[in-house]
Amino acid sequence: MKIALIGYGKMGKEIEKIALSRGHEIVSIIDVDNQEDFESAAFKSADVAIEFTNPMVAYNNYMKTFQAGVKLVSGSTGWMAEHGDEVKKLCTEGGKTLFWSSNFSLGVSIFSAVNKYLAKIMNQFPAYDVRMSETHHIHKMDAPSGTAITLAEGILENLDRKDKWVEGTFQAPDGTVSGSAECTADELPINSIREGEVPGIHSIRYDSEADSITITHDAKNRRGFALGAVLAAEYTAKHEGALGMSDLFPFLKD
Ligand SMILES: NC(=O)C1=CN([C@@H]2O[C@H](COP(=O)(O)OP(=O)(O)OC[C@H]3O[C@@H](n4cnc5c(N)ncnc54)[C@H](OP(=O)(O)O)[C@@H]3O)[C@@H](O)[C@H]2O)C=CC1
Ligand SMILES: O=C(O)C1=N[C@H](C(=O)O)C[C@H](O)C1
């Protein structure tokens, strides 16, 4: 399969390695300095483009890729609140194709299913309150992480006593803490920590007077994200529209 990469940072480089190891060809690499390549024959020859950039530029990259008539996989986070509805409509009604996930790691898909199941069980146990924390490297531009927001949505869909997620505390790389740990009973707080080069840790904690139950996904490196993105590209080459991890792993639909 012919793959174009948009964004050649930590994820772009990891994806290149996995794609080559699975026999794919990288036909174009677009970074900040060669934006004109969106119009090149090489870029347009790609079966799928894989985009990992940042919250500010992701939407523009999607529009340029759609314009070039190339199918897209993207893991960029932090753009959904502003552009999510429009991009989804372009894919459900406008004939464009985007496979997006806040987290392509296979482990996070499993974790997400466990998270929803646990939230459903907790409807029977009102003594437990729930909160979430996410820890990432100091270069991360968005907070809470896209994965934390997706996991929070999974809890809100399944735990009747929670109506919305809210930003809790934010611990900056220098250790200073802003925000507040206070919230109302119907709110699910997400606390964010930025430290070192952490690839990504997500923890969901249920606390009662008697005990606590915590589930955690801890990415050891970026290979899991990259493998998932390449698997998604292989799927996207043969499918159309608004695609996501539940298309790749039907157990996520249960
Ligand atoms: N869904 C998932 O599984 C995962 C998602 N992510 C998300 O992916 C995104 C990227 O992460 P990561 O690779 O770690 O970040 P990096 O900062 O390492 O890489 C992003 C790259 O995109 C480049 N870039 C900036 N603007 C443009 C542009 N307009 N067109 C093309 N390239 C551009 C940057 O260049 P420069 O440095 O010169 O600005 C940089 O090389 C983030 O939003 C992150 O949250 C990350 C890991 C997993
Ligand atoms: O910025 C990152 O690094 C990551 N971003 C994604 C997110 O916002 O959830 C996925 C992963 O946690 C790494």
Which residue's CA is minimally distant from atom 43 of ligand 1? 76
28 lines ligand 2 (CB under 6 A): no
> Is 140 one of the catalytic residues?
yes
Are the C-beta atoms of 137 and 146 separated by less than 8 Å? no
Q: Which of 24, 136, 162, 217 is catalytic?
A: 136
Q: Which atom of ligand 2 is nearest to the CA of 142?
A: 8
Closest by alpha carbon to 225, among 142, 146, 114, 144? 146
Average pLDDT by consecutive 10-residue portion of the chain (254 residues)?
98 98 98 97 98 98 98 97 97 98 98 98 98 98 98 98 98 97 96 98 98 98 98 98 96 87
Contacts of 20 (CB under 8 A, 6+ apart): 26
Which protein residue's CA is at the shortest distance from atom 17 of ligand 1? 9
136 is catalytic: yes
Cα of 7 vs centre of ligand 1, distance in Å, is: 6
Ligand 2 within 6 A of 131 CB?
no
What does the alpha-carbon distance between residue 125 and residue 247 come to, in Å, rounded to a whole number? Answer: 32
> What is the reported pLDDT for 254?
74
Report which ligand 1 atom has the smallest distance to the Cα of 11: 13
- Domains annotated for the chain, with CATH where assigned, are 2-104+223-252 (3.40.50.720), 106-220 (3.30.360.10)
